Amino acid sequence: MVKVHANSTIHGSTPRLRKGPLRWLVWIACVPLGFVLIALFFLSVREYRASLALRNQIALWNQQGVPYDNASMDAWYRKNTFEEGAAEWMKIMDCVTATSSDEFLERLPIVGQRRLPDSLDPNAVWDDEPLVAEYLKEVHPILKQIHQANHYPTPIQFPIDFQGFHTLLPHIQESRAIARLLQLDFEYAFYHRDAGRALQDLHLMTYSANTIDSGLFLVGNLVVAASTSMKRHAIRRSMEHDFWDKTQLEELRDILGPPRYSPEKWKFLFDGEYGMCFDAILRGDVSELIYNETDRSMIGWLPIMPSGKMQLVQYYNNLKDLGDQTLSQLKESASALEEKMLSESGSFDLSGSAIWKRLLAPGIITHYCNHMENDENDRRLTLTTIALRQFKQTEGHWPNRLAELERFGLTSEDYTTVNGGILGYEVTDDVAYVWSFTSFKETKVPEDRPRRDPQEVSDWFPPLSTLR
């Protein structure tokens, strides 16, 4: 008989792991490792599916012709602009920009720092008229060039080197100098009762804005809106005096044109924004645009993943879909979308999209919606002002209510703001006042006529028309 001791090992048997600290250490290490491996598996599956979805999205963009990188953006821009006239308009912009640097301009209104009189009465003395006349005589060749170049199809195809976020658009910035020059010429023509020259200036202001109005760039739309606002402001100033005849008043209504907002224009704009942004997004490199050191370092070790890129694709799709709404609904919906984006950007996200959301949604779209709302309110105010002058010429007195303007072709919408109620209207001592509001400062049309201190130096003018 063979005796086997308790601590001996039988040949062929497997030794048992002793109970004790070592066994628990193995379990402690294996359990979290298992969770990590499971998480990595699901993360890999998510990113694989996202990469397939992104590949399909790029294929769809190619099929639809929607730009998504610098090369496709260049092709998209060329498709929607005209090469004819580019050389002539670049020469014009160079000439206007060169004259804008002259110290002489600082003493001029509109193109310089001097303010126009609040009312430019052709029967009163305009102190700056000799100085303005001298300047306009010097720049007459430029004005002649603008007039000669107004037959080219628009928008003009200016040379652009597309570099995503870094793309330079100097022609858009330089176009503002042309608008200011034409407005100054309009004021001068109005003061000298030269209706033909004044109308020509308004038409050229419209045309010069159209040269850059490709509808592809957010900044371009804002500059066009600013130039259009200058034109409308000039028209409303001219309405203060009985200067235009009936035919010319009808022409002024045509110059105003239709509303600038439409679902088609909105969607087209964000197709262009795709092209400007997604080249950097697809490469996952936006570090040069980030000045916060924390965000910059995070991008270094947490690049954007395919799922994060698809989140940004969805964000831009949601922005495009906002255009299906009316202008009155747009601002509220845009604000809700941006709040959602900003709340998501404050949380840690393995997809790497949080930093991008924080970069791309700082209230820009809501601000743009405000601009469009004010732009349409400005158009309606100008249209109502012209109709008031038409009413006075025809009836011999001002209407009691704005609703009476409907006999001159206006609808109730034409004398009502987008979100602030009916335009304000008042007649005092046979002087008519009509006013709107600005959504940057107010939420509705004020009941009392807005007043502006003549001594106040400000870029903000109350949206008010005065007709005598």
What integer pLDDT is reported at residue 275 of this predicted model? 82
Q: 286: phi > 0 → left, psi -120 to 50 → alpha, else beta; which?
A: alpha
The answer to whether residues 433 and 466 touch, using CB atoms and an 8 Å cutoff, is: yes
What integer pLDDT is reported at residue 458 of this predicted model? 46
Task: Render pLDDT for 186-227 as a digit per residue (tens, 0 to 9).
Answer: 999 999 999 999 999 999 999 999 999 998 888 899 999 999
Residue 293 has pLDDT above 70, yes or no: no
Task: Render pLDDT for 219-275 as a digit per residue (tens, 0 to 9).
Answer: 899 999 999 999 999 999 999 999 999 999 999 999 999 999 999 999 999 888 888
How far is the CA of 128 from the CAs of 99, 198, 290, 388, in angstroms? Answer: 19, 18, 47, 30
- Beta pairing partners, 434: 425, 465
- Domain residue spans of the chain: 28-64+284-362, 71-255
Reported confidence tier of residue 339, pLDDT bands at 50, 70, 90: confident
Q: What are phi and psi of 48, to 5 degrees?
A: -65, -45
Reported confidence tier of residue 459, pLDDT bands at 50, 70, 90: very low
Structure tokens at 294: 């924390």
Task: Render pLDDT for 343-386 as a digit per residue (tens, 0 to 9).
Answer: 776 666 677 777 777 666 656 788 888 899 999 999 999 999 99
Q: What value does the CA radius of gyration of the chain take, rounded to a whole number of Å?
A: 32
Residue 146 has pLDDT above 60, yes or no: yes
The answer to whether residues 186 and 193 touch, using CB atoms and an 8 Å cutoff, is: no
The answer to whether residues 238 and 190 touch, using CB atoms and an 8 Å cutoff, is: yes
Reported confidence tier of residue 16, pLDDT bands at 50, 70, 90: low
| Residue 278 neighbours by CB under 8 Å, 6+ apart | 68, 69, 312, 313, 316
- Beta pairing partners, 416: 422
Q: 14: phi > 0 → left, psi -120 to 50 → alpha, else beta; which?
A: beta
What integer pLDDT is reported at residue 286 of this predicted model? 57
Who has greater pLDDT, 282 or 246?
A: 246
Who has greater pLDDT, 334 or 152?
A: 152
Q: Write the DSSP symbol of residue 156.
A: B
What integer pLDDT is reported at residue 27 of this predicted model? 63
What integer pLDDT is reported at residue 107 of this predicted model? 86
* pLDDT, mean over the chain: 85
Q: How far apart are CA 28 and CA 33, in angstroms?
A: 9
Element at 135 (helix H, strand E): helix 129-138
What integer pLDDT is reported at residue 130 of this predicted model? 94
What integer pLDDT is reported at residue 390 of this predicted model? 97
Please state, for a pLDDT cut of 70, what percent of the chain lies above it.
83
Instruction: Output the pTM of the full model.
Output: 0.85
What integer pLDDT is reported at residue 166 of this predicted model? 80
Who has greater pLDDT, 356 or 410?
A: 410
The answer to whether residues 333 and 322 touch, using CB atoms and an 8 Å cutoff, is: yes
What integer pLDDT is reported at residue 360 of this predicted model? 65
The answer to whether residues 345 and 361 touch, using CB atoms and an 8 Å cutoff, is: yes
What integer pLDDT is reported at residue 461 of this predicted model? 62
